[in-house]
Amino acid sequence: TQMGIEPDDPRGQLEAGRVGAAISTLDDMERLYDGIPLDQVSTSTAHNGMAIVFLAQYVLAARGQGVPPSAIRGTVQNDILKEFLARGTYIFPPRPSIRLAGDVIEWCINNAPKFNPISVSASHMQQAGATHMQAYAYTIANAQVYLDEVIRRGYSVDQVAPLFTFLIPSTVYF
């Protein structure tokens, strides 16, 4: 799911089902949230390159429950830059990836104001070998790129920044 590879594709056979749920279709998403009232819970997922597809499926699953986008709460990671720096699960080159991250943020500003469209991650930087200071520096720099992308589109920091969350390790040593 992270890479947009179907579970039955030979490239994904060793990965499918190892971490989280494989979501390829709207039906998969609807089954995942069957019986879970999406207007009463907040969910958090670690989608990055596929964040825009995940969010579309999530919104449609919520609509199937009679829940409008304005009522959904949760977070999608959508921090594609850390994939280039730390994990490698990106699909598109940097510029189109940043544009897609901005599209998710912009859509949420206008349609799903209770939903956090991005969670900028320091944790993955550290897992990839960065020091605490490096991880925080990369995280703040990445957040600035996403802010710049959406501000360039005409939104203010006050509209955008409250929707950001951060994934930061609980143990910090400076």
| 21 three-state secondary structure | coil
For residue 172, the model assigns a pLDDT of 54
Mean pLDDT for 101-115 is 97
Q: Could you read off the pLDDT of 23-79 as tens digits, one per residue?
A: 888 999 999 999 999 999 999 888 888 889 999 999 999 999 999 999 999 999 999
Residue of 24, 127, 129, 143 lying closest to 79 (CA atoms): 143
For residue 3, the model assigns a pLDDT of 61
- Both tokens assigned to 13: 């056979």
pTM: 0.86
- Rounded CA gap, 107 and 61, in Å? 17
For residue 170, the model assigns a pLDDT of 66
Q: Output 96 or 2, whichever has higher pLDDT.
A: 96
Q: Could you read off the pLDDT of 116-164 as tens digits, one per residue?
A: 999 998 888 888 888 888 988 999 999 999 999 999 999 999 999 999 9
Number of other residues whose CB lies within 10 A of the CB of residue 55: 25
For residue 126, the model assigns a pLDDT of 86
For residue 96, the model assigns a pLDDT of 95
- The residues pairing with 165 across neighbouring beta strands, listed in sequence order, are 119
For residue 109, the model assigns a pLDDT of 97
